[in-house]
Structure 1
Amino acid sequence: MSIQVTSVYTNTKEHNTKFRTGHGQSFLITNLQSGKKILFDIGTKGEDVLFNMNLLGIHPDEIDLIVFSHGHYDHTRGLESFLKVRKKEITIIGHPNIIEPKKVKFKKWFFNVKIDIGFPKLKSSLKKKIKFLFQTEFYAITDNIFLSGEIITRNEKDGTEDRLIHYNGKKWEKDPLVDDQSLIIETDKGLVIICGCCHAGLLNTLKHISQTFENKNIFAVIGGTHMLKFNENELEHISKVLVEKYKKPILYLNHCTGNFAFDYLQQKLGKETVKPFHTGYNLSF
């Protein structure tokens, strides 16, 4: 079965392309045999996502399903513009916490500032077009595309931060981002993992998935890995585990991976192993 993964929207692009970019993430997963199309995340600026979809020859009504990696704005805010153009209902799969209140806090001068970074607030007319299917456990979307489920065991460093907070129903606190999930595609070459931000941590995510798919090699990882604040020692550890435990999967990285992390991993693992995945790029498996 042939699956194509396309970057519809992310932070970067090649200079000679017309694609629009921004801080965010959106992938199109297409079954080239059946034609089934899944959007994994939907970016920040809906008009830019729709512009890129048009360049790719895709109309919102052709999308069969939306899956969200987590609830942050840079993966969900494009939904409003998408729903305005789409004429029919669509199912959205994700963790129930994708719609909980989320904010980022920081100091500006002498003030403590909190800014909403959560799921978009939609008008009732747009909400009627959505059917939510909330999942916390491993879930089969198709016969070869899966959602990881919650990645609770995090013995390795993850991508949570003190400044990223959520409302737990009683108070605001540091967000453990239990809603962070990744997609898994089972291919002839092995498992292909697609990460929105990988707030659960890359190594934690790989371990969780490898335990679910015993005796299956991980062929590639695509997407954001939230290693913006990882230091050299932490990246050295990651590169070592990738080689020794996972037989050096190909890394197609973008979004929140961070330039330092990308350059370090590429230097350690090689340009044939660590590659960028810009807006408009696609891979077939």
Structure 2
Amino acid sequence: MQSADHVSITVLVDNYIDMLMQNSPGIRRQGMAEHFLPRRGTPLAENGIAFLIRATTAGRTTTILFDAGMSGIPIIHNATVLGLDWDEIDQVVLSHGHPDHFGGIYAALGAIGRRVPLVVHPSAFHPRSIRRPDLMIQYFNRGLTERELEEAGAALVKVREPLDLAPGVMTSGEIPISVDFEHEVPAGRFSVRDGHVHADPLEDYLTLVINVTGVGLIVLDPCGHSGVLSSLDHASSLAPDAPLHGVMGGFHLGHAGITQQKIDRTVDGLIERGLRLVSPMHCSGFRAQRAVAERMPEAFALMTAGAEVEISAPVSPPSKGESDTTQKK
């Protein structure tokens, strides 16, 4: 896998906003100054997630929108707050066919205003339902259709395998669940495929794998449907020569019925993999955030809507000889 020289990741949508948070090394947050002296407004949060990735190699930047939140309101508003130029977006990726990830896509495509490639797994369009003794939600992804996406400006790229998007950025393709306890998912999900009703395998779920020169792999895992550890291991298999550096996204550990044991075992696995940046967002839940914060304090980063993360290799100071040469010139 190629690598990028520099990557910036902007959190366009997330569940959380906190204007009292401070900047930290490599992370700029919308804080008190923006809250009390808003030039464009302050960010909005909702139950959803969306990232904007800018990957720069040899002076050329590719800009990718990854997911679009639950509705069109925060993604458009937050883009204005952050001064985003929609014209710079080169590609769009949808992680899977759930409304908290595709809900704002039509508003985003409208803001882009031209035909743009949109990468998505073909199974994202299968009708989906939730059926439990206490709950029935039929066809909750009916808002995602190929026809409407194309009419809104998407040039659909339906693919199951990993796909290179830019130097140092690729989609994961289908992710095998390789960690035994990550097969646990909330029950009652169904999808219609080939005219039959099946338990929903969520085969359409994908992540983004980013490789930064001198840093390693950062995995954007928006909802953790394949298990965050399995997603990390799959990313390593795609770029075996690059070390794992970090993971950001929803770890899918906030649902009722997720045991503390599963959360603890997940954090065990994150520690074992030696990550230096761990940011549980969106559907991760407070218990998972607390566990990472307590057990991985140096790696833990709490993200908020509007946060901007800059990642590149640290600049080494010149050696004495190099410094002397520079001064002589």
Is this a same-fold pair by TM over 0.5?
yes
Aligned length: 280
**1:72-83 aligned within 5 A:** 72-83=98-109
Q: Which moved more, 1:152-161 or 1:3-12?
A: 152-161
- Find out whether 1:13 has 2:40 as its counterpart: no
Q: Report how far residue 145 of structure 1 moved.
A: 0.2
Q: Report how far residue 72 of structure 1 moved.
A: 0.5
When residues 274 and 184 of structure 1 are mapped into structure 2, their CA distance, relative to the original with a 3 A threshold, is same
When residues 184 and 154 of structure 1 are mapped into structure 2, their CA distance, relative to the original with a 3 A threshold, is same
**1:210-221 aligned within 5 A:** 210-221=236-247
1:176 aligns with 201
Q: Contact 2:150 / 2:156 at 8 angstroms: preserved in 1?
A: no
2:117 aligns with 91
Select which of 170, 174, 177 maps to 1:146: 170
When residues 158 and 24 of structure 1 are mapped into structure 2, their CA distance, relative to the original with a 3 A threshold, is farther
Q: Which residue identity does 1:80 align to in structure 2?
A: Y
Q: How far apart are the structure 2 equivalents of 1:232 and 1:260?
A: 8
Give the secondary-structure state (helix, strand or coil) at the position aligned to 1:215. Answer: coil
**1:1-285 aligned within 5 A:** 1-15=5-19, 16=32, 17=35, 18-32=42-56, 33-108=59-134, 113-118=136-141, 120-121=143-144, 127-128=150-151, 129-156=153-180, 157-158=182-183, 160-187=185-212, 188-229=214-255, 230-244=258-272, 246-270=273-297, 272-285=298-311
Q: How far apart are the structure 2 equivalents of 1:192 and 1:248?
A: 9
Q: Which moved more, 1:54-63 or 1:132-141?
A: 54-63
Q: How far apart are the structure 1 equivalents of 2:184 and 2:10?
A: 24
The share of aligned pairs that are identical, in percent, is 23
Q: TM-score, normalised by structure 1?
A: 0.90
Give the secondary-structure state (helix, strand or coil) at the position aligned to 2:294. Answer: helix
Q: Which residue identity does 1:4 align to in structure 2?
A: S
How far does the alpha carbon of each residue in 1:145-191 deviate from its partner, in whole angstroms, 9 at most, with x for none? 01111012433314632233221232333211111111011112110
In structure 1, runs of 5+ residues without a counterpart are none
Q: TM-score, normalised by structure 2?
A: 0.79
Q: Report how far residue 30 of structure 1 moved.
A: 1.2
Bigger Rg, which one: 2
In structure 2, runs of 5+ residues without a counterpart are 20-31, 36-41, 312-329
Q: Contact 1:11 / 1:22 at 8 angstroms: preserved in 2?
A: yes
How far does the alpha carbon of each residue in 1:198-228 deviate from its partner, in whole angstroms, 9 at most, with x for none? 2000111111111222132110101111012
